[in-house]
Amino acid sequence: MKIYGAVAVLLVALFSAPTEAADKTQSLGIIGTGTFSCEKFTKYDGAPNSSGQMDLVVQWAWGFITAYNFRAAFAATYQDDDAPNPVTPPEAASLLLFIREYCEKSPQSNVATATLDLIGTLGGVVTSSINMPKK
């Protein structure tokens, strides 16, 4: 459990760090399987012997949801009515099913945005998406 707390603290630090904008487009520091395009996710999802890779997607999404919950807990409005709602991370199979269905509907998207959509579906407050440039 200590590792989950450390990951969550790291994610909170990454998401609260200032971003630089050369062309007035905000960017953020994001690493790991959340950067996978839906195309890459679908490739791994359908590949034989990819359970290890899918486990990494689940762990990343759980960490992202945990960071969302930590951010909510530290928000100035946490005790107010407009505080972001913390959400309970779903079990692994449900999480992968959600990302799979999201990517079928939005093949140009990515795992991070699918996870944001999941947070919104679970009752969290999500007001934006993450668009990452193609590499």
Closest by CA position to 84, among listed 128, 29, 134, 42: 128
CA triple 111-100-49, angle to 5 deg? 95
Q: Quick: pLDDT tens for 14-62.
A: 444 443 333 344 556 788 889 999 999 999 999 999 999 999 999 999 9
Verdict on whether the full-model pTM lies above 0.75: no
Q: Which comes out higher in pLDDT, residue 77 or 9?
A: 77
